Each structure stands twice: as structure tokens, then as C-alpha cells.
């Protein structure tokens, strides 16, 4: 994704969320079907579980973002780690539904909204703080998805960013305009 300079926090945040959404999608696309539902050990989460958790969080945090607590009474976080989606279609449906909540809420915001107060689990946050909290949370879990997808893809993995031992080539491509950073 091309980096675009902006003075709008809302626009930059939206761009970051789009970047992490695409990064996760590209990782999921490379993961074999069995890898999407596999756990590396009994205490770990599968990609499907992580996506189910993200989707639950996204629906809760971003639905009626400015007017209700970000932890909705209907959300049961613990169940997000039980009964994971069974296949790629279910995983991608949850993924798309969660991100739709994020982008719908962000599209309704302006930079003037950044100092408004929202609550998450009864704690007050500025809109900007709440957005930062979610960027950090989602990037953490997308990193887990990328790690697991790379593990299960094995030698079929194609780098999503700068490939190992390819920094100089990447930098030369950026300098020549063939690639953009971010």
C-alpha cells in the first residue's frame, strides 16, 4: 500500500487499518486450509480463532462507536476462543464482517471528533485514544496471523513485506519509484 502524507489523523488511521487488513488477508491467502484451523499446541490459538476474536472485538468496539460503550453487553469474549470457524469461507466471512464495522465507523468520523469521549469497559478514552488502542490490538493479532500462516505455508511462503536478505533490492526499487514503502 502506498504511503500517502496526510495531516488528518482519521485518514491516517483508516490507512493503517487498511494496511493491516490487507496484510492479514495476504497471509491468510497463502495459508493452506488445514493451517487456518490448526493449533500449534493446545494453549495456542488457530488463525480461525484469532479472526473470530478480532471480529467480535471489531463488532463490539465500532458499532455505535460514539454513543455506546465499546464493550457491548452482548459480547462474550471468552466464547470467541471456542468453537472456531471450520473453514476458509467462515473465516473470511467473519474477517470481512468485522472490518466492515471498523471502516463504517471511521468513515463517519472527522478530525473534530478526536477529542470526544468514548468508553471501553467503562473507562473513558478520547476518540483518538480509542483508535490507537484498536490499531495496536489489531496489528498485534495480524502479526500472529502472519506468523502462523508463514509457519503453515512453509517453503511456499512469499514475503508480504521486504523479503529476508532483500533490503538493498527493495530500497533500490523504492528509490527508482518501482515500489512504495508501508
Cα-only R_g, the chain? 18
pTM summary value: 0.89
As a whole-number percent, the residues of the chain with pLDDT over 70 amount to 88
Q: How far apart are CA 95 and CA 53, in angstroms?
A: 10
Q: How far apart are CA 142 and CA 20, in angstroms?
A: 7
**Domain ranges for the chain:** 9-176
pLDDT, residue 131, reads 98
Going by pLDDT thresholds of 50, 70 and 90, the confidence category of residue 162 is: confident
pLDDT at 179 over 90: no
pLDDT, residue 56, reads 98
Q: How far apart are CA 23 and CA 118, in angstroms?
A: 28
CATH 1.20.120.450 is the classification of domain 9-176: yes
Amino acid at each position: 500500500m502506498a504511503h500517502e502524507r496526510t495531516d488528518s489523523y482519521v485518514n491516517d488511521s483508516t490507512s493503517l487499518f487498511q494496511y493491516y487488513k490487507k496484510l492479514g488477508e495476504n497471509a491468510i491467502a497463502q495459508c493452506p486450509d488445514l493451517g487456518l484451523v490448526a493449533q500449534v499446541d493446545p494453549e495456542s490459538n488457530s488463525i480461525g480463532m484469532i479472526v473470530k476474536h478480532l471480529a467480535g472485538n471489531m463488532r463490539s468496539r465500532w458499532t455505535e462507536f460514539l454513543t455506546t460503550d465499546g464493550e457491548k453487553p452482548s459480547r462474550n469474549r471468552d466464547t470467541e476462543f471456542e468453537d472456531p470457524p471450520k473453514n476458509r469461507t467462515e473465516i473470511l466471512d467473519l474477517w470481512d464482517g468485522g472490518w466492515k464495522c471498523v471502516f463504517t465507523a471511521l468513515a463517519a468520523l472527522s478530525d473534530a471528533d478526536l477529542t470526544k469521549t468514548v468508553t471501553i469497559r467503562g473507562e473513558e478514552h478520547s476518540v483518538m485514544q480509542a483508535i490507537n488502542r484498536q490499531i495496536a490490538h489489531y496489528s498485534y493479532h495480524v502479526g500472529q496471523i502472519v506468523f502462523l500462516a508463514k509457519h503453515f505455508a512453509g517453503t511456499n511462503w512469499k514475503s508480504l513485506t521486504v523479503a529476508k536478505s532483500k533490503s538493498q533490492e527493495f530500497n533500490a526499487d523504492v528509490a527508482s519509484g518501482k515500489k512504495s514503502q508501508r
